[in-house]
Amino acid sequence: MQLQLTKSSYHLTIVGTGEPTWLLLHGFMGSGLDFFNLVQHLPGRFILPDLLGHGTTNADQDYPYTMAHQVQDLNAILTQIIGEAPVNLWGYSMGGRVAIAFAATYPQKVAHLYLESTRPGMLTKDARHQRQNHDANLAAQLLSGSLAEFVDHWEALPLFASQTHLNSALKTQVRKQRLVQDKNQLAKSLTQMGTGSQPNYWPNLLRFNFQTTVITGQLDLKFTQIGQAMLNDLPQGQGITVPNVGHNVHLEAPETVQQILKLEG
């Protein structure tokens, strides 16, 4: 379905009925459909949006793709669909950063927060500036060549090395999903909502007075360390490290993630 807001129009996939209600947020170059096969037989209702710059969500040309605008839109979507009731919120990678921002802005809307392979931002101004330059260079690379060339580069990142062991059908499916994106929209997302552009939400973790589950893959050493640092600050945090998988836990270990989701069903 397509849901029209004031200056943006979101593509949403809604799966299931009843309680609990979930909002699942995908990573960079993904879409809400990334979670479809994972949740279609689970109890509860799952709202799977395409985030700004991704899938078939679109917005007015002058509409900023900032973190503030993204979480404002998600709040408007939830209000239209379920009113003011809290949801279970799951975010992966980029979507996890959005989930943290949403929880910091609308804590009353979060029943349980699930953070998969993500971070609350950069700790220092210097680190943010360096990351902004990195994101800008990545966006320039994206715009200067073909989308297929950028996808080749993206898939070759060490962060995704563990995905080389996926079966060929699944790898083809993931690549096809990436290749249907709009590179101009992706570049706008990178420069306006990338890790370097978002606020530093580390201090907010101390005020997350709801259950928060941090999920990382054992082979993803970087985000496992970041996840442990987050757990040190979260008042009601618990960690799950999934063995023998990397950054994209829900892709590489779907049965494990389904079991986590069922616990709330």
Please determine, for residue 147, whether its predicted confidence score (pLDDT) is greater than 90: yes
Q: What is the pTM of this model?
A: 0.97
In the structure encoding, which two tokens stand for residue 121, read together?
A: 């931002």
Give pLDDT tens digits for 8-59.
999 999 999 999 999 999 999 999 999 999 999 899 999 999 999 999 999 9
**Residues 180-205: tens digit of each pLDDT:** 999 999 999 999 999 999 999 999 99
* CB-count exposure of residue 101 (10 Å: 0-12, 13-18, 19+): buried
Angle at 16 between CA 252 and CA 264, to 5 degrees: 65
> What six digits make up the tokens of 64?
């900023």
Domain range annotation of the chain = 2-121+199-262
Q: Which of 65, 61, 57 is nearest to 5 (CA)?
A: 57
In this structure, which CATH number among 3.40.430.10, 2.60.40.10, 3.30.479.30, 3.40.50.1820 belongs to the domain 2-121+199-262?
A: 3.40.50.1820
Quick: pLDDT tens for 199-246: 999 999 999 999 999 999 999 999 999 999 999 999 999 999 999 999
Residue 14 DSSP class: E
